[in-house]
């Protein structure tokens, strides 16, 4: 440049300045420019952006590009591929594609894809090629292969069928005629060979028809083919279960033969057997047409002949007044419910239900399978009632035994526990000369009484707890006893009895329940008989009790009279002796209390006992009660009586006669027993009668001591007009008293006799002299008492 | 060249060829050489401007190269503002820098001496003196007039002192 002249350079400067400046527009400027152009409406068409935002393009250009892309991809292009191919937003591609489809009738927009008609034709040709190769093709498979929807494929195939695709279409599968023919031949062969029902699915597998079988489950072409074969009479049989099972006619014939053979041989056929023979569903519908006269039972279908057999047995049983279990008459395969159904079908039995009372009275069905005639049942009922009666008798026996045992055993432990006290009391023996009683028996009883004196307090205390519980226990025991006997009339026990009487009943009926069912029937009358028998005994017991009560009342009355008379006697004696507190007087009173008072108190207690325990009658001897019994009795008494009764018993054990009388009166009032007051006149009669009784004894009495004890009251009765029995201790005093009422000789004799008796009793060695003198004085004593050698004169 | 100019200006100045001959209009022979260098630098500068689409002036000189005139323009808010400028080469050139004048703007701005000479920045003269004789007309335009236009024109437009030429 150094060579250039100045002019050149100046010219060059001008040149440089004339050159066009290179336009350097930024993207932003261009965008602004375009926007400006659009605003000004200078652009005729809307412009689209590319995805990158760096390019503008017109819609026409985009349509063109879409066409090119479709062409390049071979006639089929997914719309979603367009944005990546063209670099334009999907919305614009979609719009351009829609526009293209609108413009071009050969272009299809299917499921998001652009497909040209030419492409579809190509697919159809390809499918046809595939079909001709394999013989059968499922549309689903084609659709999967060409990635088209099944509906589209189906439409395509249907459209091209007969033109581009050579074959038959059936439920989504395309076949070639050759294939159909081949399958038909296979089916004909397989089904002709089948002798039993064949599952078509199984057959498909066996024949290797999986392709069609898999899809042809519902209304398979094979079904259609089989039906076609049946129509052509190439096969005999039928498709059952919605085309799932092929049943060959030969099988049906064999099945029917087997069923009929079994039925004719056995007169029945079980449903389980039918199932085994292949008749599983609608068994009754199957068998009824074959054997119209049969009966359907629960587990089997039976011939009418069986019914006749049952009918005959049933009427025989009714006629023979017997019973019959129809189950054993039937084939063993039939269960008891079948037998029951069959029995119910019998005219005889049906008549029982419908024929009114008359027919019903002939018999009844028991334990489901047994018919029992009324006569037979009545006979058994009679036997059962008899058994019940004997059972009732047995029950009463038991009860008696139990009550006896209870009354004797209850105080048992207490007497042991107080044994020491009892012996101590016996040793004391302050009233040992109570032995002077009129008889050995009486003195023995008094000894018991004296023992009771010491024993009673401790005993009552010690045994109160055990004896208080006794009545309740006894009541429970009786109740248990009663129910135990009734239990022997429970159906199970009765059934055992029935089997004993009629061994054939064992095991008869449904589950061997005839005996039990009969027992249920018979139980009510048997129980009634039992209760009736018990009731009868109970009524009889009441009668006995009433009689006993009357007897006790009479005894009580007598004892009460005696007691009152004795009380008067004691009073009169004490007045006559003029020494009320003398030992003799006390001895007499004490003796009176312990004899008369105790008798009265015992009678009263017995009466209460009878009132309270209706079944205690046999436990008490009529003569009197022992100390143990008395204690037991006291414990049994109800509370409102208990106190008065105890008081009466205690005073009867004491020595205060007035107190004893008052106590007896209190007890009688508490118990509501009326005691009559002794009248003067009656007392005289009583004294006379007593004296007379003593005289009678005295007339025959040989023992001097006894004779004295009898003679003294007689003499006293005559002297004072009182009724008294005199204990030994008081005899001396009374003898002295009688001095005033006897002549001298008699009194000397009496004194002498008394002295000798005392001597004799005191001396350990038997003194012959005294004895002889006493013997010689006895007649004198009798004479004094007003007894002559000729007794009739006194009577 | 430390401060006072924006980085783009600095970059551009570096690309303008530096002059070598120290000669003023009085040095007949040498001045011719100097003038050639001036013209080459200007051509280069204009080429640079054209290439970067930042062409902003035209310039012509008298035959001896002592008087220069031309047009400069500035674009503000999409409007082009064009002005005529002129300057003479001082006798002491290149020790003294040329005084560029825009007569039509005289009296419209405070940043101007009487007669329309633009008021250059305080940095310009020391820089020029330091780079003497390597700086020439092109450098004076690049470092003097261009920054002045960029600083003053928007101000004047805002004040309504000037109107667009387009």
Q: How far is B131 from chain A (nearest CA, A)?
A: 22
Whether A13 and B46 lie within 8 Å, measured CB to CB = yes
Whether A16 and B55 lie within 8 Å, measured CB to CB = no
- The average pLDDT across A232-240 equals 79
Helix (H, G, I), strand (E, B), or coil: what is residue A677?
Answer: coil
Determine contact, residues B50/A15, Cβ cutoff 8 Å: no
- What is chain A's mean pLDDT, rounded? 74
Q: Cα–chain-centroid distance for residue A183?
A: 69
Partner residue opposite A19 with nearest CB, options B36, B50, B52? B50
Q: How far is A9 from chain B (nearest CA, A)?
A: 6
Reported confidence tier of residue A449, pLDDT bands at 50, 70, 90: very low
Q: Would you state the pLDDT for residue A353?
A: 59
Q: How far is A12 from chain B (nearest CA, A)?
A: 7
Q: Cα–chain-centroid distance for residue A17?
A: 129
Q: Would you state the pLDDT for residue A475?
A: 58
Show Cβ contacts of residue A627 under 8 Å, excluding neighbours closer than 6 positions: A448, A449, A451, A452, A455, A456
Q: How far is A13 from chain B (nearest CA, A)?
A: 5
- The average pLDDT across A361-365 equals 74
ipTM: 0.86
- Percent of chain A exceeding pLDDT 70 equals 82
Reported confidence tier of residue A435, pLDDT bands at 50, 70, 90: very low
Show Cβ contacts of residue A459 under 8 Å, excluding neighbours closer than 6 positions: A411, A414, A415, A417, A418, A421, A631
Whether the pLDDT of residue B83 is over 60: the answer is yes
CA atoms of B60 and B85, how far apart (whole Å): 11
Whether A24 and B59 lie within 8 Å, measured CB to CB = no
The more confident residue out of B66 and A88 is B66
Q: How many CB atoms lie within 10 A of CB A141?
A: 20
Q: Which helix (H) or strand (E) holds B148?
A: helix B146-159
Q: Which parts of A672-767 fold into alpha helices (H)?
A: 680-700, 704-720, 728-738, 744-762
Q: Would you state the pLDDT for residue B84?
A: 94
Supply A83's token pair: 């944005």
Name chain B contacts of A17, Cβ cutoff 8 Å. Answer: 46, 58-59
The more confident residue out of B142 and A78 is B142
Reported confidence tier of residue B141, pLDDT bands at 50, 70, 90: very high
Instruction: Report chain A's C-alpha Rg in angstroms.
Output: 66
Task: Cite the beta strand spans of A207-283 per DSSP E.
Answer: 237-240, 245-248, 268-270
The more confident residue out of B19 and A754 is B19
Q: Would you state the pLDDT for residue A421?
A: 39
CA atoms of A4 and A13, how far apart (whole Å): 12
Instruction: Report chain B's C-alpha Rg in angstroms.
Output: 16
Whether A6 and B49 lie within 8 Å, measured CB to CB = no
Name chain A contacts of B41, Cβ cutoff 8 Å. Answer: none
Q: How far is A81 from chain B (nearest CA, A)?
A: 42
Partner residue opposite A22 with nearest CB, options B40, B53, B61? B53
The more confident residue out of A171 and A103 is A103
- Catalytic residue numbers of B read 119
Whether the pLDDT of residue A81 is over 60: the answer is yes
Partner residue opposite B40 with nearest CB, options A9, A20, A22? A9
Whether the pLDDT of residue A246 is over 60: the answer is yes
From the list A600, A599, A596, the residue with the least C-alpha distance to A568 is A596
CA atoms of A45 and A56, how far apart (whole Å): 12
Chain A residues with CB-CB distance to B under 8 A?
1-2, 4, 6, 9-10, 12-14, 16-17, 19-24
Name chain A contacts of B52, Cβ cutoff 8 Å. Answer: 24
Q: Would you state the pLDDT for residue A579?
A: 66
Instruction: Print burial letters for A377-400: b (CB count within 10 Å at least 16), e (below 16).
Output: beebbebbbebbbebbeebbeebe
Q: Cα–chain-centroid distance for residue A659?
A: 62
Whether the pLDDT of residue A436 is over 70: the answer is no
Name chain A contacts of B59, Cβ cutoff 8 Å. Answer: 13, 17
Name chain B contacts of A19, Cβ cutoff 8 Å. Answer: 50
Partner residue opposite A16 with nearest CB, options B36, B46, B52? B46
Q: Which parts of A410-511 fold into alpha helices (H)?
A: 412-417, 419-428, 440-487, 491-501
Reported confidence tier of residue A526, pLDDT bands at 50, 70, 90: confident
Q: How many CB atoms lie within 10 A of CB A746?
A: 17
Q: Would you state the pLDDT for residue A214?
A: 41
The DSSP result for A389-412, as a single string, is: HHHHHHHHHHHHHHHHHHHHHTTH
Q: How many CB atoms lie within 10 A of CB B33?
A: 16
Q: To which residue do tokens 């056995």 refer?
A: A266
Helix (H, G, I), strand (E, B), or coil: what is residue A296?
Answer: strand
Q: Would you state the pLDDT for residue B136?
A: 92
CA atoms of A93 and A101, how far apart (whole Å): 12
Determine contact, residues A690/A723, Cβ cutoff 8 Å: yes
- Percent of chain A exceeding pLDDT 90 equals 0
Name chain B contacts of A22, Cβ cutoff 8 Å. Answer: 50-51, 53
Residue boundaries of the structural domains of chain B = 7-157
Helix (H, G, I), strand (E, B), or coil: what is residue A541?
Answer: helix
pLDDT digits (tens, 9 = 90+) for A757-789: 887 777 777 777 777 777 777 777 777 777 765
Most confident of A130-139, A625-634, B19-28: B19-28
* Closest B-chain CA to A7: B63
Whether the pLDDT of residue A417 is over 60: the answer is no
Q: Among B43, B52, B62, which would you mutate to test the A interface (most chain A Cβ atoms within 10 Å of its Cβ)?
A: B43
- In terms of phi and psi (left: phi > 0; alpha: psi -120 to 50; beta: otherwise), the region of A507 is left
Q: Would you state the pLDDT for residue B45?
A: 94
Determine contact, residues A420/A453, Cβ cutoff 8 Å: no
Reported confidence tier of residue A613, pLDDT bands at 50, 70, 90: low
- The average pLDDT across A536-557 equals 79
Assess B17–A contact: CB distance below 8 Å, yes or no: no
Q: Cα–chain-centroid distance for residue A682?
A: 70
Whether the pLDDT of residue A609 is over 60: the answer is yes
Most confident of B5-9, B64-68, B121-125: B64-68
Residue A720: C-alpha distances to residues A653, A656, A742 (Å): 27, 22, 12
Q: Would you state the pLDDT for residue A216?
A: 46
Is the preceding omega at residue B133 within 30 degrees of 0, hence cis? Answer: yes
Q: Would you state the pLDDT for residue A482?
A: 67
Whether A16 and B43 lie within 8 Å, measured CB to CB = yes
* Closest B-chain CA to A21: B50
Reported confidence tier of residue A269, pLDDT bands at 50, 70, 90: confident
pLDDT digits (tens, 9 = 90+) for A645-679: 778 777 777 777 778 888 888 878 877 777 777 77
Whether A13 and B50 lie within 8 Å, measured CB to CB = no
Residue B14: C-alpha distances to residues A16, A342, A346, B44 (Å): 20, 131, 136, 12
Whether the pLDDT of residue A444 is over 70: the answer is no
The more confident residue out of A679 and A434 is A679
- The average pLDDT across B67-80 equals 90
CATH number attached to the domain at B7-157: 3.10.110.10
Whether the pLDDT of residue A425 is over 50: the answer is no
Q: Would you state the pLDDT for residue A356?
A: 52
Whether B36 and A4 lie within 8 Å, measured CB to CB = yes
Residue A405: C-alpha distances to residues A114, A376, A515, B63, B70 (Å): 118, 43, 38, 176, 164
CA atoms of A317 and A376, how far apart (whole Å): 9
From the list A47, A51, A48, the residue with the least C-alpha distance to A88 is A51
Q: Which helix (H) or strand (E) holds B73?
A: strand B67-76
Q: How far is B138 from chain A (nearest CA, A)?
A: 12
From the list A713, A343, A724, A303, the residue with the least C-alpha distance to A514 is A343
Is the preceding omega at residue B94 within 30 degrees of 0, hence cis? Answer: yes
pLDDT digits (tens, 9 = 90+) for A14-41: 888 888 877 777 777 888 888 888 888 8
Whether A10 and B39 lie within 8 Å, measured CB to CB = yes
Lowest mean pLDDT across A213-222, A278-287, B99-108 = A213-222
pLDDT digits (tens, 9 = 90+) for A474-520: 556 666 666 766 777 777 777 787 788 877 777 777 777 777 777 77
Partner residue opposite B47 with nearest CB, options A1, A2, A16? A16
Strand partners of residue B118? B112
Helix (H, G, I), strand (E, B), or coil: what is residue B80?
Answer: strand
């Amino acid at each position: 440049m150094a060579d250039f002249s100045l002019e050149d350079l100046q010219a060059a400067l001008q040149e440089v300045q004339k050159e066009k400046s290179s336009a350097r527009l930024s993207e932003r400027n261009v965008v602004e420019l375009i926007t400006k152009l659009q605003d000004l409406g200078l652009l005729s068409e809307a412009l689209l952006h590319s995805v990158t935002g760096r390019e503008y393009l017109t819609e026409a250009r985009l349509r063109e590009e879409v066409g090119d892309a479709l062409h390049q991809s071979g006639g089929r292009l997914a719309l979603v591929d367009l944005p990546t191919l063209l670099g334009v937003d999907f919305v614009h591609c979609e719009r351009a594609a829609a526009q293209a489809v609108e413009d071009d009738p050969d272009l299809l927009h299917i499921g998001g894809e652009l497909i040209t008609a030419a492409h579809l034709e190509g697919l159809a040709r390809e499918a046809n090629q595939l079909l001709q190769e394999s013989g059968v093709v499922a549309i689903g498979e084609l659709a999967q292969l060409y990635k088209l929807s099944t509906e589209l494929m189906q439409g395509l195939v249907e459209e091209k069928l007969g033109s581009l695709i050579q074959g038959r279409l059936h439920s989504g599968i395309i076949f070639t005629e050759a294939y159909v023919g081949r399958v038909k031949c296979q089916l004909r062969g397989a089904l002709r060979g089948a002798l039993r029902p064949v599952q078509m699915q199984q057959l498909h597998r066996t024949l290797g028809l999986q392709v069609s079988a898999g899809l042809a489950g519902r209304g398979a072409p094979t079904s259609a083919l089989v039906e076609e074969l049946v129509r052509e009479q190439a096969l005999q049989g039928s498709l059952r279960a919605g085309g799932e099972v092929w049943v060959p006619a030969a099988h049906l014939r064999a099945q029917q033969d087997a069923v009929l053979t079994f039925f004719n041989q056995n007169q029945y056929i079980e449903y389980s057997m039918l199932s085994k023979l292949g008749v599983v569903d609608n068994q009754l519908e199957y068998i009824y047409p074959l054997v119209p006269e049969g009966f359907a039972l629960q587990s089997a279908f039976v011939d009418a002949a069986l019914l006749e057999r049952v009918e005959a047995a049933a009427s025989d049983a009714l006629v023979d007044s017997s019973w019959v279990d129809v189950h054993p008459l039937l084939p063993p395969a039939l269960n008891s419910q079948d037998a029951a159904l069959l029995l119910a079908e019998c005219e005889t039995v049906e008549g029982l239900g419908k024929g009114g009372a008359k027919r019903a009275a002939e018999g009844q069905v028991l334990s489901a399978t047994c018919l029992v005639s009324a006569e037979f049942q009545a006979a058994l009922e009679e036997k059962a009632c008899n058994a019940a009666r004997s059972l009732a008798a047995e029950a009463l026996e038991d009860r008696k035994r139990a009550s006896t045992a209870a009354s004797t055993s209850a105080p048992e432990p207490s007497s042991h526990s107080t044994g020491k006290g009892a012996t101590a009391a016996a040793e004391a023996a302050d009233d040992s000369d109570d032995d002077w009683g009129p008889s050995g028996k009486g003195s023995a009883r008094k000894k018991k009484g004296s023992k009771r004196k010491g024993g009673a307090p401790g005993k009552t205390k010690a045994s109160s707890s055990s004896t208080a519980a006794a009545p309740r226990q006894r009541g429970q025991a009786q109740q248990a006893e009663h129910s135990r006997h009734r239990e022997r009339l429970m159906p199970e026990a009765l059934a055992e009895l029935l089997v004993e009487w009629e061994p054939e009943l064992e095991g008869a009926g449904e589950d061997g329940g005839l005996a039990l069912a009969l027992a249920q029937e018979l139980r009510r009358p048997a129980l009634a008989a039992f209760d009736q028998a018990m009731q009868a005994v109970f009524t009889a017991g009441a009668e006995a009790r009433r009689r006993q009560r009357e007897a006790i009342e009479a005894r009580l009355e007598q004892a009460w009279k005696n007691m009152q008379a004795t009380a008067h006697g004691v009073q009169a004696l004490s007045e006559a002796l003029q020494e009320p507190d003398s030992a003799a007087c006390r001895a007499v009173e004490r003796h009176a209390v312990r004899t008369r008072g105790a008798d009265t108190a015992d009678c009263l207690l017995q009466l209460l006992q009878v009132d309270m325990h209706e079944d205690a009658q046999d436990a008490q001897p009529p003569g009197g009660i022992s100390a143990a019994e008395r204690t037991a009795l006291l414990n049994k008494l109800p509370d409102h009586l208990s106190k008065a009764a105890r008081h009466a018993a205690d005073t009867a054990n004491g020595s205060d006669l007035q107190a004893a009388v008052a106590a007896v009166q209190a007890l009688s009032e508490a118990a509501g027993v009326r005691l009559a007051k002794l009248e003067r006149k009656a007392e005289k009669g009583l004294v006379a009668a007593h004296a007379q009784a003593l005289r009678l004894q005295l007339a025959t009495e040989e023992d001097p001591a006894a004779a004295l004890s009898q003679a003294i009251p007689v003499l006293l009765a005559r002297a004072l007009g009182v009724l008294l029995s005199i204990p030994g201790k008081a005899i001396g005093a009374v003898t002295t008293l009688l001095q005033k009422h006897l002549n001298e000789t008699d009194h000397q004799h009496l004194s002498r006799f008394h002295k000798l008796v005392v001597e004799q009793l005191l001396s350990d060695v038997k003194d012959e002299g005294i004895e002889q003198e006493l013997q010689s004085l006895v007649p004198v004593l009798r004479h004094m008492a007003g007894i002559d050698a000729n007794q009739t004169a006194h009577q | 060249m430390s401060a006072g100019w924006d980085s783009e200006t600095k970059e551009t100045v570096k690309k303008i060829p530096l002059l070598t001959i120290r000669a003023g209009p009085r040095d007949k022979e040498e001045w011719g050489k100097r003038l050639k260098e001036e013209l080459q630098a200007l051509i280069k500068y204009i080429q640079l401007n054209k290439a970067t689409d930042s062409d902003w002036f035209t310039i012509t000189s008298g035959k001896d190269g002592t008087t220069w005139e031309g047009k400069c323009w500035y674009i503000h808010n999409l409007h082009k503002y064009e002005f005529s400028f002129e300057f003479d080469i001082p006798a002491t050139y290149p020790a003294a820098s040329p005084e560029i004048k825009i007569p039509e703007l005289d009296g419209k701005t405070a940043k101007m001496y009487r007669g329309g000479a633009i008021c250059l920045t305080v940095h310009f003269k020391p820089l020029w003196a330091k780079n003497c004789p390597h700086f020439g007309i092109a450098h004076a335009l690049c470092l003097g007039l261009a920054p002045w236009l960029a600083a003053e024109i928007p101000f004047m437009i805002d004040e309504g002192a000037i109107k667009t030429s387009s």
